[in-house]
Amino acid sequence: MVYFPTTRDAPRSGFRRAVDALANLFFPDECLGCRLPLARLQDRGLCDGCWQKILALRIRPPWCPSCGLPYQQWGEGGSHLCSECILRPPPYSGARSFGFYSLELRRSVHAFKFSGRRNLVGLLAPQLGVAFYDTWTRSDADVIIPIPLHPSRTRARGFNQSALLAEHLSGLLGIPWSPNVLLRVRDTLPQVNLTDRERFKNVRRAFVCAKPEAVAGKQVLLVDDVMTTGATVRSAAGALLKGGAHRVWVLTLARAVPGVMT
């Protein structure tokens, strides 16, 4: 397994250590997974047991070579195209995800996106690196581009979680990233409560490539946090290809799969 060091164990100043000690005494940090108090403040926000559970959620072959849909939970044989990719081939060349969108990984993603736990990027982005090297090499991508939020959503949340993941991943892989190449031009509804058909309709023509010169003739690694139906990444990949990208790969942290406990 490829190991990606993080900065969470970097030396801290005496003042910072004193502040952390007081914080642990009066406001003990809870593990995002089991909710038990952590022995000390940890940037990853998980106890060792729950961290191991996240690693156990890692998606392994067989999977669809196109969209990356895992087959291991159904006990199917070797990798083969799924029915969705046969009926509706995606515009991107391939997609992969680190783990199942379930249990501790789901809780960590929710805390990262909706509770302002930006420090979790140091935990989550390296797992994107693991998934990347499961399939590709450094030469397979020229630029990393995150799925954008609509400006109104970015203002409300204060940050774009996919951009943070892309920026951190860029440093790990040594591949440049460009945050303002792909724009979301429609303030779409949240996908979470929509049917599959509504999801595809919701993001249709939602993205434009604002800087075609940044992707022209290049292999693009499109990064997002969670992939469910693939509607969002299909729409975004189509916009990048229309802008002149040679090829688009999709990399997400988690994959929501029917039948997998959430």
- Distance in angstroms (rounded) separating the CA atoms of residues 205 and 201: 9
pLDDT, tens only, 51-95: 999 999 999 999 999 999 998 766 556 779 999 999 999 999 999
Q: Report the top-level CATH class of 61-255.
A: alpha beta
**DSSP alpha helices (H): ranges in the chain?**
14-26, 48-56, 83-87, 103-114, 121-135, 151-157, 161-173, 196-202, 231-242
Phi, psi at residue 81, to the nearest 5°? -60, 135
- Distance in angstroms (rounded) separating the CA atoms of residues 45 and 36: 11
pLDDT, tens only, 135-175: 999 999 999 999 999 999 889 899 999 999 999 999 999 99
Task: Please give the full DSSP string across 148-197, using - where no structure is assigned.
Answer: PPPHHHHHHHSS-HHHHHHHHHHHHHT--B-TTSEEE-S-PPPSTTS-HH
Domain assignments of the chain as residue spans, ordered by start: 61-255
Instruction: Tell me the one-letter amino acid at 39.
Output: A
